[in-house]
Amino acid sequence: MAKKFVYKFAEGKADMRNLLGGKGANLAEMTNIGLPVPQGFTITTEACTKYYDDGAKIDSSIQKEIFKNLEDLEKVTGKGFGKKENPLLVSVRSGARASMPGMMDTILNLGLNSETVEGLATLTNNARFAYDSYRRFIQMFADVVMEVPKPLFEEILDEQKHKKGVSLDTELDENDMKEVVKKFKALYKKQKKSEFPEDVREQLILAVEAVFRSWENPRAIVYRRMNDIPSSWGTAVNVQTMVFGNMGNDCGTGVAFTRNPATGENKLYGEYLMNAQGEDVVAGIRTPSAIAELKKQNKAVYEQFEQISKTLENHYKDMQDMEFTIEHGKLFMLQTRNGKRTAKAALKIAVDMVKSGMWTEKDALLKIEPKQLDSLLHPQFEASALKKATPIAVGLPASPGAATGKIAFTSAEATERAAAGEKVVLVRLETSPEDIEGMVSSQGILTVRGGMTSHAAVVARGMGTCCVAGCSAVVVDENAKTLTINGKKYTANDYISIDGSTGNVYGTQIQTVPASLSGDFGKIMSWADKYRALSVRTNADNPRDAKQAYDFGAEGVGLCRTEHMFFEADRIMAVREMIVSKTVEEREKALAKILPMQRKDFEGIYKEMKGNPVTIRLLDPPLHEFLPHTDAEIKELAKEMGLTFKELKETVDNLHEFNPMLGHRGCRLCVTYPEIAAMQTRAIMEAAVKVNKEKGYKITPEIMVPLVGEKKELDYVKEYIVKTAEDVIKKAKSNMTYKVGTMIEIPRAALTADKIAETAEFFSFGTNDLTQMTYGFSRDDAGKFLKDYYAKKIFEQDPFARIDEDGVGKLVAMAAKLGRQTRKDLKLGICGEHGGDPATIEFCHNVGLTYVSCSPFRVPIARLAAAQANIKNPRN
Amino acid sequence: MAKKFVYKFAEGKADMRNLLGGKGANLAEMTNIGLPVPQGFTITTEACTKYYDDGAKIDSSIQKEIFKNLEDLEKVTGKGFGKKENPLLVSVRSGARASMPGMMDTILNLGLNSETVEGLATLTNNARFAYDSYRRFIQMFADVVMEVPKPLFEEILDEQKHKKGVSLDTELDENDMKEVVKKFKALYKKQKKSEFPEDVREQLILAVEAVFRSWENPRAIVYRRMNDIPSSWGTAVNVQTMVFGNMGNDCGTGVAFTRNPATGENKLYGEYLMNAQGEDVVAGIRTPSAIAELKKQNKAVYEQFEQISKTLENHYKDMQDMEFTIEHGKLFMLQTRNGKRTAKAALKIAVDMVKSGMWTEKDALLKIEPKQLDSLLHPQFEASALKKATPIAVGLPASPGAATGKIAFTSAEATERAAAGEKVVLVRLETSPEDIEGMVSSQGILTVRGGMTSHAAVVARGMGTCCVAGCSAVVVDENAKTLTINGKKYTANDYISIDGSTGNVYGTQIQTVPASLSGDFGKIMSWADKYRALSVRTNADNPRDAKQAYDFGAEGVGLCRTEHMFFEADRIMAVREMIVSKTVEEREKALAKILPMQRKDFEGIYKEMKGNPVTIRLLDPPLHEFLPHTDAEIKELAKEMGLTFKELKETVDNLHEFNPMLGHRGCRLCVTYPEIAAMQTRAIMEAAVKVNKEKGYKITPEIMVPLVGEKKELDYVKEYIVKTAEDVIKKAKSNMTYKVGTMIEIPRAALTADKIAETAEFFSFGTNDLTQMTYGFSRDDAGKFLKDYYAKKIFEQDPFARIDEDGVGKLVAMAAKLGRQTRKDLKLGICGEHGGDPATIEFCHNVGLTYVSCSPFRVPIARLAAAQANIKNPRN
């Protein structure tokens, strides 16, 4: 039997979503549960795929199938397609597997031509309505199918109103509409060099093709990339009998949710407009009424709708988003789907649904999109204050949240003014590691240059601080300490406000409200903890982040990057002394200066973590990152350090690398300078011993060696770690234990994980570097060409955001398996930025990892995602 | 039963080499086949390993075992260790599994002290001999065991001769020797703050320890690294009864080979010295006689030795290198081992051995070290001319062979003068890709900076041109066109000569002789071709290399790097125009200029390859490699190109990458600029069609896409290739076929090879990049820290020279398997520098590759290595 490409609504059902699209499946489902749905049929997503495979053509056999279904529809409705008597008019709408609201195209009133319009006029006894419908159809068809610019039609309509001396469309009469139709057709002919199609079958096929085409329009492509929807899915097309909400005052149209999508309140919520078509509701010319009003206007219809809405929520077991039309007092359901909701609503609905017994706790956990929680974890602008503000510029939404404060132009200034109690927003051309302190002190960060993966963006996201990056409309004059936006100058005494979720920049102070973890949130998190198998840790480099993460439920630190501590103003000089040292003795002397500072950092983190495990990574970046690079800076530093320019310049030159990413860093530094590992181990252990004695927390430090690619590398470094750690323990007369483990971030480490596990007591997958090396591109450089990869559909998602399961994931799975072959109880974690991505967390669960580690603000997201993973695929 | 750590010679045999070391196993074997061997015993290599495991101590149970064997030896010899009457003296020598000549230490005459020396004097009735032996022993023991500098002893001896007014040691009498002994002991005491040990058992244990220690001396470590000998093997120690060749004129000592080790001639070859100990032969004070002389001096001994030498060669079935001593007319064999031989001798011996029926062809192939053939493939200095020359400087032996010519200071000058018929040696501070033409035109290349993997070294090796790199003694004044070495100035009119096998630089013209593939070489190669399963191709970027490789037996081109062609002076401008293009049209215009030049390159290569397959790789390096980087150069080029400085500078800046290795290169360029792939495909196909029509060669071009990491990347590029290729074929009315394949050089490509093979028709493993990405270090940068890795024994071999089987090899094997799962007949090759390494070739054979591809000068080596691999592990 030939493949079936067209299904009547009565032939489908809800679980055929992949084939019929969301809308089609729901129309079928509603039809089958007996709800009043205008009849029609769905052309499948497979037909869309075939359309592209066939070189953007609808195969003749599919065309035949479409017309066969149309004939059946004529029979069911008793109307005739293209017939003057009782003409059948249809809507043609897209409907993909996943909801993509507004991304694709719709055509209404299809089936009208110069004959049927007359029939419609006669039938409805309303020529104005008939010609209004016709002109709407011409406009939509010309726009969607033929790409005639919409404004050209709007001009004609405006002209007509002007001529008539009226201001509303509704004030135009039958004759006006007839004239408009004539002008629209003339415009069409002028633009397309052909008559507007009279053949309604031709209209239909062209419209279906246009919907298929709209699957690949630019905004749909962008939406898909943002939502991880593969282009191979395609869209279905729904052809449905038109019903009209604009045939008189006993007609109307509306949208409603079974519960409040903003708050989650369990009460029908929505709005409607009498004598209107759907687009009028959206256009905002007339103000729609709240759905509750309908009860007064037409009690019977309201009650029927209320009943249907309950039926639908019970049937779909979720909050529904519905569209309806009332035609001459008769209610038609045009669409239902699970309703989008705010994070806050999602939590409340979930808790309510469990309370009412509709959902189990597991159902509730699976219903919440983990990423959505992010919006609840950062300060936001106070809603009424925001309404009054207008953005003066837009940058990239680099790190979510809202911030308001006076402008600080340098990191030092930000630190100083913040210490004096002022709230500041740091504005920089771009940030560098030396800005860390200023970034920590600021409410938010605004940069002129740099993208979503720039230093400012990455660090801000890590800290959970709001950041707008790459806002090129801002002109900064660092010397004059002013910034100019659109010609207006701002000084250090002026306020700005930034929204890291939208990228908006405001030139005024806007009140913010702190994140609040409401009761529903707490309940959901407690359920998540009950059902998850993965542990959730955090990446934290300082006590502030550690505390934040602990408050968000982190069960330990999975990655503490010690080098971030090296950049702070009070220690960078000691670090530089260490780098320019010519002998082990000189180097040890410089390291001795750093030791007490590092120890103090670790003490703070141990205290905040209250005895939970803390994994500390030894120094990772290449040493040249700590030195200046321009001659002027080198000259200045040389003077400060008591060196000649030539000496320091030589050190800088010697440290230069062609590919720093693949250079002298990570454990390679410890192989060359084992005294660095020894100093860091001493700081780690001494701090642990001290906090253990002071607070009684039972601490088992986990010392992590980065960038290992060969077991013997780890053996060599571990020897120094063990020697130092044992010395500290012995001197302190402590019985503290500790673990030595490694990052798995080099492909070779994954490939030889069985050997490495002989030495390593734990693995932590550094999937940032592992992704770079497995793909062979550096994150710093890939931005330039990856845009072509997205445009050309070679990549459909960002491998740095979501783990690449086919390549990088294969290495992770392999390493996990090999490692556990050697050491059955090997602790396995992930600490790349992927650790906070729900899809990656599911992967980590499935390959048997022990924990994920993510930035503090992603901890709640990770807890939920871990629970979902274990509910879907329970671990024994 | 406890492990046995000491074996009497009579207890061992030849196949116990791993346990007894080469020397010990051979002494045992000789003992057992009844040859006259001074008796003794061997302390095993396992004892050495245990010595290190125990923290550099000889376990007391092993000491006990040693002394038990010593007692047995006393019984067999009838002598007493430390006894005045008939004292037993022994030699203590190292003996590892693999021969490491001169790398470790030896002590003779052990067992002498102030009592036994008197006993020896009485016994031999030769007090001078006894005290001479004693002073030799003190000197050796002090040097080897106690690290007292040898020259201090030499001084005393010289003083004594001076005092006596004589010039030779032999002119010193009994009393002189006694005085020397006294002074030696005093020196020892002064240096070591203790008396020279009188206890002979103490002497023995200290000596054995010293030999164990010498396994880890710096020269042994270097030798092991160079010869791929793992440090875990350890050395055995042989304790053997001393026999003396210096007790009178009926005594003597010598070394001999069963065949001539330089030429392979089947005739006893060697030399001996009467009344001498082994070290006298080596010291070169007296001139030894040719072994044939012995026949006249002592016919019986000569004939016995000749008989023994035949016995040994027949027994070991290989040419033997033997040491013997004659003590009072009695012949003793001290050592035999397979003799080292020159490449030339190796070939002749192999052919002769097969002729005589001693070896099969397979035996012969396995007996030749493939790497050794290299010396036969390059021009050499004429031997007598070289003898007269003295080096004026030494650099790194970067690419083998010898060259002589007048000095050229720039690439352009070299090209011009070479075109005019002059022979030049190019001398540069360092070379860059723009020097290629000059390098091709020169006899040899000398650089002041850069190591074994510098541009000059890598390119020269690829071309088979002699190169000495990093010769810092050379001071170049490029402006004045002079160079100075040790204060002497040389101009463009002066000759220099360089030896790329030794690094020597000479200030004169030295005649060279071309490589000649003698008849034996040809025969061995024909056998190799008979037994190998792997195909051998070459990496060749130009017709010259292609011809060289074809002459050396290459069966195709495995890698033709098209970018090398881009650097040539006549086309670099067109390449730069392409890079600065702002539109596709501009870019296509510039590409059109390059097209005919590329086509011509390919024509030349196809012609030289005479219908053998040619794999051509599309453009690989990042575009910034084709542009200058300093402001001055940019300014100059901008002027030349009719651009403003700012415009060109902006292009250069935009192309800047943090990690070029991981940047916008390989197929990523083709994704952004598919027109480049199209142009190159056109050149490849048009050239093939033309050569096919002109010469009738049946050519199937293999178009190779570099740096693929994802199947869809290859899909995208392949589409352009196929479209272009089909167009060329159609226009030419040809029926030519072609293949599109990919490099596997990104870990992700190996991990997803099953998918990539759906599109790729062949794989070629680019193990240079694959090694860099799998290890996560760049070759350009790793030099700085890998020296620490060797010193600290984390790496024992260079992963860029020999494939890392555990990591990189695992990916290669995985990709080969996955690829063949998808496409059963997938052609698999390797084209990294590893392709010419014998150990890697064996690996490639074992994992089922179709061919290896290497630089032209390694083709014969690869043919032999491939044969050896298939003989060891035959493919079905």
What is the reported pLDDT for B104? 73
Which pLDDT score is estimated for B552?
A: 93
Rounded CA-CA distance A615/A827 in Å is 12
Alpha-carbon distance of B271 to B284, in angstroms, equals 12
| pLDDT reported for residue B284 | 58
The minimum CA-CA distance between A752 and chain B, rounded to whole Å, is 6
pLDDT at B516: 64
List A residues 715-734 in contact with B (Cβ-Cβ < 8 A): 716
> For position B458, what pLDDT does the model report?
77
Lowest mean pLDDT among A67-76, B430-439, B661-670: B430-439
pLDDT averaged over chain B?
92
Q: Is A672 helix (H, G, I), strand (E, B) or coil?
A: helix
> Phi, psi (5° rounding) for residue B547?
-65, -50
Looking from the CA of B559 toward its CB, the CA atoms found within 13 Å total 31
Closest by Cβ to B774, choosing from A748, A780, A804: A748
Tokens 């063990």, residue?
A722
Over 90: is that where the pLDDT of B832 sits? no
Give A223 or B35, the one with higher predicted confidence: B35
Choosing among B454, B662, B676, B768, which should be mutated to test the A contact, i.e. which has the most A CBs within 10 A? B662
Is B315 a known active-site residue?
Answer: no
pLDDT value, residue B796? 83
Question: Cβ of B748 and A793 within 8 Å?
Answer: no
Lowest mean pLDDT among A552-561, A645-654, B263-272, B514-523: B514-523
**What ranges make up the beta strands (E) of B34-97?**
40-43, 90-96
CB contact under 8 A, A785 and B671: yes
Rounded to the nearest angstrom, the minimum Cα separation between B587 and chain A is: 17
Q: Which residue in B455, B564, B624, B834 is the catalytic one?
A: B455
Cβ distance B668 to A716 less than 8 Å, yes or no, reads: no
Under an 8 A CB cutoff, do B657 and A778 touch?
yes
Chain A residues with beta carbon closer than 8 angstroms to that of B796: none
Confidence of residue A25 (pLDDT cuts 50, 70, 90): very high
Q: Which of A285-294, A467-476, B401-410, B525-534 has the lowest mean pLDDT?
A: A285-294
How confident is the model at residue B781, as a pLDDT?
Answer: 87
Task: Answer whether B776 sits within 8 Å of A671, measured CB to CB.
Answer: no
Highest averaged pLDDT of the listed ranges A416-430, A515-529, B158-172: A416-430
State yes or no: is A455 an active-site residue: yes
Residue of A nearest to B814 (CA): A751
pLDDT digits (tens, 9 = 90+) for A378-406: 888 988 888 899 999 999 888 888 999 99
Put simply, the answer to whether A658 touches B662 (Cβ < 8 Å) is no
User: Helix (H, G, I), strand (E, B), or coil: what is residue A251?
Assistant: coil
Q: Measured between CA atoms, how close is A449 to chain B, in angstroms?
A: 14
Percent of chain A having pLDDT more than 70? 98
Partners of B658 on chain A (C-beta within 8 Å) are 660-661, 778, 780-781
pLDDT per position as a tens digit, B582-610: 899 999 999 999 999 999 999 999 999 99
Rounded to the nearest 5°, which phi and psi values hold at B862? -65, -35
Q: Which of B264, B464, B268 is nearest to B368 (CA)?
A: B264
Say what the pLDDT of residue A358 is.
96
pLDDT at position B449 over 90:
no
Q: Which of residues 150 through 209 in chain A touch B, CB cutoff 8 A?
A: none
Would you call B366 exposed, middle or buried from its count of C-beta atoms within 10 A (0-12, 13-18, 19+)? Answer: middle
ipTM > 0.90 (yes/no): no
Instruction: Judge: B808–A748 Cβ closer than 8 Å, yes or no.
Output: yes
Return the number of CB contacts < 8 Å for A and B.
Answer: 171
Task: Please name the member of B710, B773, B806 whose beta carbon is closest to the beta carbon of A794.
Answer: B710
Question: Which of A748, A774, A792 lies nearest to residue B775, judging by beta carbons?
Answer: A748
Residue appearing with tokens 């290595």: B865
CB atoms A811 and B751 under 8 Å = yes
**Which residue does chain A place closest to B804, by CA atoms?**
A748
At residue B518, the pLDDT reads 66
Catalytic residue of the set A48, A251, A455, A467: A455
Q: Is the pLDDT of residue A139 over 80?
A: yes
B668, B808, B818, best to mutate vs chain A, most A CBs in 10 Å: B668
pTM of full prediction above 0.90: no
**Residue A296 one-letter amino acid:** K
Arithmetic mean of pLDDT, A162-170: 86
Is the confidence at residue A837, as pLDDT, over 70?
A: yes
Whether the Cβ atoms of residue A676 and residue A591 lie closer than 8 Å to each other:
yes
Annotated catalytic residue within B48, B466, B831, B854? B831
Taking the C-alpha atoms of residue A641 and residue A638, their distance in angstroms, rounded to an integer, is 5
B769: closest chain A residue by CA: A776
Chain B from 770 to 789: CB within 8 A of any A CB: 772-778, 780-782, 784-785, 788-789
B791 contact residues in A (CB cutoff 8 A)? none
Which residues in B41-75 are b (16+ Cβ under 10 Å) and which e?
Answer: bbbbbbbbbbbbeeeeebeeebbebbeebbeebbe
In this prediction, residue B565 carries a pLDDT of 80
Of all residues in chain B, the one with the smallest CA distance to A785 is B664
Q: For residue A231, what pLDDT band results from cuts at 50, 70 and 90?
A: confident
pLDDT for A630 equals 87
A825 touches B: beta carbon within 8 Å: no
pLDDT at A452 over 80: no
Question: Which A residues, 794 through 813, put their C-beta within 8 Å of a C-beta on chain B?
Answer: 794-795, 804, 806-808, 810-811
Show the CA angle centred on residue A635, arms to residues A633 and A636, nearest 5°: 65
DSSP labels for B144-194?
Answer: HTT---HHHHHHHHHHHHHHHT--SGGG--HHHHHHHHHHHHHHHHHHHSS
Token pair 């246009």: residue = A210
Confidence of residue B787 (pLDDT cuts 50, 70, 90): confident
**Of chain A residues 636-665, which have a CB less than 8 A from chain B?**
657-664
| Beta-carbon separation of B662 and A661 below 8 A | yes
pLDDT of residue A142: 93
Whether A1 has a pLDDT exceeding 80, the answer reads no
In the stretch 358-387 of chain B, residues with CB closer than 8 A to chain A read none
Using pLDDT thresholds of 50, 70 and 90, give the confidence band for residue B399. confident
CB pair distance less than 8 Å for A707 and B776: yes
Contact B662/A662, CB-based, under 8 Å? Answer: yes
Confidence (pLDDT) at B229: 83
Using an 8 Å CB-CB cutoff, list chain A residues near B668: 777, 785
Output the pLDDT for position B281.
Answer: 67
Q: What is the pLDDT of residue A424?
A: 96
B-chain residues near A752 (CB < 8 A): 806-807, 810
Lowest mean pLDDT among A255-259, B241-245, B462-466, B604-608: B462-466
Shortest distance, CA A660 to any CA of chain B (angstroms): 7
Instruction: Name every chain B residue with its beta carbon within 8 A of the beta carbon of A706.
Output: none
3-state secondary structure A371-391: HHHHHHCCCEECHHHHHHCCE
How far apart CA A850 and CA A845 sit, in angstroms, is: 8
Contact B773 A773 (CB under 8 A): yes
Tell which wins on pLDDT, A455 or A729. Answer: A729
Whether the per-residue pLDDT at B167 is higher than 80: the answer is yes
Residues in chain A within 8 Å Cβ distance of B806: 748, 751-752, 755
Q: Do A747 and B806 touch (CB under 8 A)?
A: no
The per-residue pLDDT for A285 is 63
Q: Return d(Cα A736, Cα A689) in angstroms, integer.
A: 7
DSSP secondary structure, B518-579, as one string:
-HHHHHHHHHHHHH--SEEEEE-SSHHHHHHHHHTT--SEEEEETHHHHTSHHHHHHHHHHH
Q: What is the mean pLDDT of residues B783-790?
A: 88
Residue B424 structure tokens:
């030049």
Residue contact A777–B745, C-beta within 8 A: no
Confidence of residue A437 (pLDDT cuts 50, 70, 90): confident
Residue B42 in tokens: 């061997």
Is A659 close to B792, i.e. CB distance below 8 A? no
Q: What percent of chain A has pLDDT over 90?
A: 73
Helix (H, G, I), strand (E, B) or coil at A243: coil
SS (H, E, C) A761-822: CEEEECHHHHHHHHHCCCHHHHHHHHHHHHHCCCCCCCCCCCCCCCCHHHHHHHHHHHHHHH
B712/A774 Cβ within 8 A = no
Residue from the list B661, B707, B713 with its beta carbon closest to the beta carbon of A659: B661
Q: What is the predicted pLDDT for the residue at B69?
A: 97
Gap between the Cα atoms of A398 and A379, Å rounded: 15
What is the mean predicted confidence (pLDDT) over A488-492?
94
Q: Is A252 helix (H, G, I), strand (E, B) or coil?
A: strand
